[in-house]
Amino acid sequence: MTESKVSCLQSEASCPQSEASCLQSEASCLQNEASFAHYFAGIDIGSTMTKAAIIHGGIVWSVIGPTGPEQRKLAGKVMQEALKKAGLSFEEISYLVATGYGRINVPFADKQITEISCHARGVNSIFPQARTIIDIGGQDVKGIRIDAKGKPVDFVMNDKCAAGTGRFLEVIAGALGIELDDLSKTAAASKKPARISSLCTVFAAQEVASRLSEGAPLSDLVAGIHQSVAERILRTVSRLSVEKEIVITGGGAKNGHLVKMLAERLGAAVLVPQEPLLTGAIGAAMLGKDRFHAAPAGQLQKRPRNWGEVTFFN
Amino acid sequence: MAGVDIGADSSKAVIVANGKLLSRHIIPSGGNYKLAADLALDAALQKAELSRGALAGIVATGGGAGNVTCANRTSSDIVCQGRGVSRLHPSVRTIIDVGDLSSKVSRIDQSGKTSAFLLSGKCAGGSARILQVIARVLQLKIEDIGPLSLTSQNPVQFNTQCAVFAETEAVSRIAEGLPKEDLLAGIHLALAAQLYTLAERIGIEQDCALIGGGAKDIGLVKAMQETAGHEFIVPLEPQIMAAYGAAIIAGEVVAKK
């Protein structure tokens, strides 16, 4: 599993850390002394990756692990890893919010909140000027319009067709025999992106593989693929009225060339969080914190938590 | 007369005399459509013990029809398959062609003339390609998946129409220990549902025929029958209907002269 310790979310005035690693503006810093007494956790169980985040004041611990082929059964393990990194026991978490793909039942969470709300809250905490989120996930693509407070106001999604999702790039990488992480730099080397005629993942993979065997330059094909993905993503997202500032999140945001293609087509610079995979989990934890502080003393509803397996209902 | 149908996956040539089928030959199209056309045609001629000179007319059809340089004319595969199916099964009014790249539905009148048609998008999930994808995942030969699927008592419900996502679902269901025949039955039903929805959009009039490479899959035929609630006519050679129809048209063109 990969893991990272995200830098502090506190404002400069009250934080000893350097400005360079601060993710948040002073204006949106919601930290006060009271919040340092509590730990809040969020877990975002995606179709491909599970992301756990624990926040304490402004500090965030996080773990990213695979959801696993048996779907969701590893979620508890990812949360436990995060607890270990933070040096905490489960009982020290004041409130845990779960979110993710599909309708899931997370026995160790206090509450489940939709991933739209969690992403919106998470992105808002990092970029308060954000008004549109493009989340490029492993198996879906989402567009979310949010307001100044980080509440979602509109939403579109493609989760029916693999084209335009992380899966498309995975399949193409496999068909061309290159690593997923090498796609971006391979594409960037091209001076003449190829035009890929197939929209469908299966047929596009066949097309690039046969063109490669006919002698087409690899970088041109990969660049062409990035253009296809960008166009496909924007076809979904354009159903919203896209407003600046635009933030790209999800695994796809880690592909620099894809982000560049999107920005070019949008005709605007786009923002990418330092940890684009964590906005859902961070947002979940922060929504948990909001609920916790908003509830009158002793009246916060919590479910009995247990480490049972995450299941999902249709 | 000869009809040559150059499809994305396979090329078919038939030799016909007075409307009767003399011979046929099917080969993978490969990357070179012109070569495929020549190979298919010459092989079919050889089987009929004829030379090219014996042909009075050649009509080409399919996506690669333009590559058949010896053809007198080309005709759309939808028009051709309408004529071909109607000649063999005059009661048919709706044809569902399950190809490798896409699926097509057409309505024909009693003389085999096409009155309406609809194409699925070029989506592997809506064509016979999805069956190939699942066959590969289950490490089965494509010709075996149909009969095996018929042995299922408990078809799996697939939650997706996308071939790529279906592949993932199949992998995790296999990991859960589900039997292959249940997955196969499920994927056949999933494809049948999509085909049926496509057909409903232009209206289904019986009798209905199922043609194309996908129609050779007995599991799909059964799934279509279950989904539609009625029988489907499957010609003896469902893959050559467009080529056959092209050859019939060739005969008519020559007769007019």
Cis before B207? omega within 30: yes
Tell me which chain B residues have a C-beta less than 8 angstroms from the C-beta of A70.
172, 175-176
Instruction: Looking at the complex, report in whole angstroms how far the Cα of residue A62 sits from the nearest Cα belonging to chain B.
Output: 27
Q: Are residues B139 and B208 in the same domain?
A: yes
Reported as half-sphere exposure (CB side, CA atoms, 13 A), residue A159 has a value of 15
Q: Are residues A160 and A94 in the same domain?
A: no
Asked whether the beta carbons of A288 and A40 are under 8 A apart, the reply is: yes
For residue A69, give the nearest of B31, B162, B171 by CB distance: B171
Q: How far apart are CA A292 and CA A34, in angstroms?
A: 12
3-state secondary structure of A2: strand
Q: How far apart are CA A53 and CA A43, in angstroms?
A: 6
Q: If you measure CA to CA, which chain B residue comes closest to A198?
A: B122
User: Residue A150 belongs to what domain range?
Assistant: 132-271
Q: Are residues A176 and A81 in the same domain?
A: no
Per the model's pLDDT, the better-predicted residue between A231 and A3 turns out to be: A231
Please report which residue ranges of chain A form alpha helices under DSSP H: 75-86, 115-126, 166-176, 183-188, 201-213, 218-237, 256-266, 279-294
Instruction: Looking at the complex, report in whole angstroms how far the Cα of residue A202 sits from the nearest Cα belonging to chain B.
Output: 6
Tell me which chain A residues have a C-beta less than 8 angstroms from the C-beta of B63.
none
The pLDDT tens digits of the residues spanning A191-214 come to 999 999 999 999 999 999 999 999
**Residue B231 structure tokens:** 């029988």
Q: Are residues B206 and B247 in the same domain?
A: no
Q: How far apart are CA A249 and CA A227, in angstroms?
A: 18
Q: How far apart are CA B240 and CA B257, in angstroms?
A: 26
Give residue A2's pLDDT band: very low, low, confident or very high (50, 70, 90). Answer: very low
Give residue A313's pLDDT band: very low, low, confident or very high (50, 70, 90). Answer: low
Instruction: Looking at the complex, report in whole angstroms how far the Cα of residue B223 sits from the nearest Cα belonging to chain A.
Output: 22
- Helices B142-149 and B180-202, interaxial angle, to 10°? 90
Instruction: Give the count of domains, chain B.
Output: 2
User: Residue B81 belongs to what domain range?
Assistant: 1-89+237-257
Q: How far apart are CA B103 and CA B98, in angstroms?
A: 5
Q: Is A70's CB within 8 Å of B133's CB?
A: no
Q: Is B175's CB within 8 Å of A314's CB?
A: no
Work out the average pLDDT over A165-174: 94
Give residue A312's pLDDT band: very low, low, confident or very high (50, 70, 90). Answer: low
Does the beta carbon of A314 lie under 8 angstroms from any beta carbon of chain B? Answer: yes
Q: Is A202's CB within 8 Å of B164's CB?
A: yes
Does the beta carbon of A91 lie under 8 angstroms from any beta carbon of chain B? Answer: no
Q: What is the pLDDT of residue A102?
A: 66
**Residue A67 structure tokens:** 């959801």
Residue A202 sits in a domain whose CATH number is 3.30.420.40
Residue B227 sits in a domain whose CATH number is 3.30.420.40
Work out the average pLDDT over B34-56: 93
Q: Are residues B252 and B142 in the same domain?
A: no
Q: Is B122's CB within 8 Å of A214's CB?
A: no
Tell me which chain A residues have a C-beta less than 8 angstroms from the C-beta of B161.
160
pTM of the full predicted structure? 0.84
Q: What is the pLDDT of residue A15?
A: 46
Q: Are residues A188 and A249 in the same domain?
A: yes
Q: Are residues A151 and A101 in the same domain?
A: no
Q: How far apart are CA A9 and CA A55, in angstroms?
A: 9
Q: What is the pLDDT of residue A21?
A: 42
Question: Residue holding tokens 């007769």?
Answer: B255
What would the 3-class secondary structure string for B225-257 be? Answer: HHHHCCCCECCCCHHHHHHHHHHHHHHHHHHHC
Q: If you measure CA to CA, which chain B residue comes closest to A161?
A: B162
Q: Measured at the alpha carbon of residue A39, what is the angle toward residues A33 and A42, in degrees to the nearest 5? A: 130
Contacts of A38 (CB under 8 A, 6+ apart): A56, A94, A95, A289, A292
Q: What is the ipTM of this complex?
A: 0.88
Q: Are residues B62 and B148 in the same domain?
A: no
Give residue A33's pLDDT band: very low, low, confident or very high (50, 70, 90). Answer: very low
**Residue A102 structure tokens:** 């599909």
A 45-64 near B (Cβ less than 8 A): none
In DSSP terms, B61 is beta-bridged to B5
Interface test with B, best of A67, A197, A202 (most B CBs within 10 A): A202
Work out the average pLDDT over A31-40: 66
Q: Are residues B41 and B51 in the same domain?
A: yes
Q: Are residues A93 and A153 in the same domain?
A: no
What DSSP state is assigned to residue A308? P
Interface test with A, best of B168, B172, B191 (most A CBs within 10 A): B168
Give residue A116's pLDDT band: very low, low, confident or very high (50, 70, 90). Answer: very high
Give residue B121's pLDDT band: very low, low, confident or very high (50, 70, 90). Answer: confident
Torsion sign (Cα): B140, B134, A45, A226: positive
Q: Are residues B56 and B130 in the same domain?
A: no
Between chain A and chain B, how many beta carbons pairs sit less than 8 Å apart?
A: 49
Q: Are residues B197 and B162 in the same domain?
A: yes
Q: Are residues B69 and B85 in the same domain?
A: yes
Q: Is A167's CB within 8 Å of B176's CB?
A: no
Q: Are residues B6 and B70 in the same domain?
A: yes
Q: Is A160's CB within 8 Å of B124's CB?
A: no
Instruction: Give the count of domains, chain A.
Output: 2
Interface test with B, best of A141, A161, A212, A314 (most B CBs within 10 A): A161
Q: If you measure CA to CA, which chain B residue comes closest to A171?
A: B164
Q: How far apart are CA B194 and CA A265, in angstroms?
A: 33
B 145-184 near A (Cβ less than 8 A): 159-165, 168, 171-172, 175-176
Does the beta carbon of A202 lie under 8 angstroms from any beta carbon of chain B? Answer: yes
Does the beta carbon of A215 lie under 8 angstroms from any beta carbon of chain B? Answer: no
The pLDDT tens digits of the residues spanning B9-42 come to 899 999 999 889 999 999 999 888 999 999 999 9
Q: Within 10 A of A209 (CB to CB), how many other CB atoms are there?
A: 16
Q: Are residues A108 and A226 in the same domain?
A: no
**Residue A290 structure tokens:** 């909001």
Q: How far, CA to CA in Å, does B217 sit from each of A271, B114, B214?
A: 50, 25, 6
Q: Is the pLDDT of residue A4 over 60?
A: no
For residue A162, give the nearest of B101, B159, B164 by CB distance: B164
Please report which residue ranges of chain B form alpha helices under DSSP H: 33-48, 77-88, 129-137, 142-149, 163-175, 180-202, 218-228, 241-256
Q: Fill in the amino acid letter for A161.
A: C
Q: Are residues A207 and A288 in the same domain?
A: no
Q: Fill in the amino acid letter for B203.
A: G
DSSP sequence for A109-155: -SEE--HHHHHHHHHHHH-TT--EEEEE-SS-EEEEEE-TTS-EEEE
Share of chain B above pLDDT 90, in %: 85
Asked whether the beta carbons of A5 and A61 are under 8 A apart, the reply is: yes
Give residue A72's pLDDT band: very low, low, confident or very high (50, 70, 90). Answer: low
Q: Are residues B122 and B2 in the same domain?
A: no
Does the beta carbon of A313 lie under 8 angstroms from any beta carbon of chain B? Answer: no
